[in-house]
Amino acid sequence: MAKTRKKRQSYTAEQRSEILAAAQRDKLTAEQVKKKFGVTPVTYYSWRKKAGTTRRRGGATPMAARSGGGSDNLLRSQVQSRVREMLPEIVRTEVNSYLDSLFGASGRKRRT
């Protein structure tokens, strides 16, 4: 028996915005959006992600929406830069520690 395919509903950008706005205004869950608008949860979450309106559990707003995003983006960039500087040494230390636990520190010339 062959599976029947459901016809895909195509939404305009305006319809997507209206659905997202209504869902946010009414604080609807993905299941409630599905019942009210016929949009699957996967599609709804995809739209939210693309629109930048994702929320964390507990109703927290996205970080960019809380403070305008400017200073947060700068801080994020600085932290990323520092982590990138530190990461090679951290990885080297962890790998050496793991190798020492497997083979012992003797008999292997340590490279730093």
User: Residue ranges of the domains in the chain?
Assistant: 11-55, 63-112
Tokens of 9: 């509903």
Do 91 and 60 touch, CB atoms closer than 8 A?
no
**pTM of model > 0.95:** no
What's the confidence (pLDDT) of residue 25?
Answer: 92
- Which of the residues in the chain have pLDDT under 50? 63-64, 67
- Residues with Cβ within 8 Å of 79's Cβ and at least 6 positions away in sequence, in order, are none
Distances (CA, A) of 15 to 1, 25, 29, 86: 36, 15, 18, 46
Residue-level pLDDT at 50? 87
What pLDDT, on a 0 to 100 scale, did the predictor assign at position 58?
57
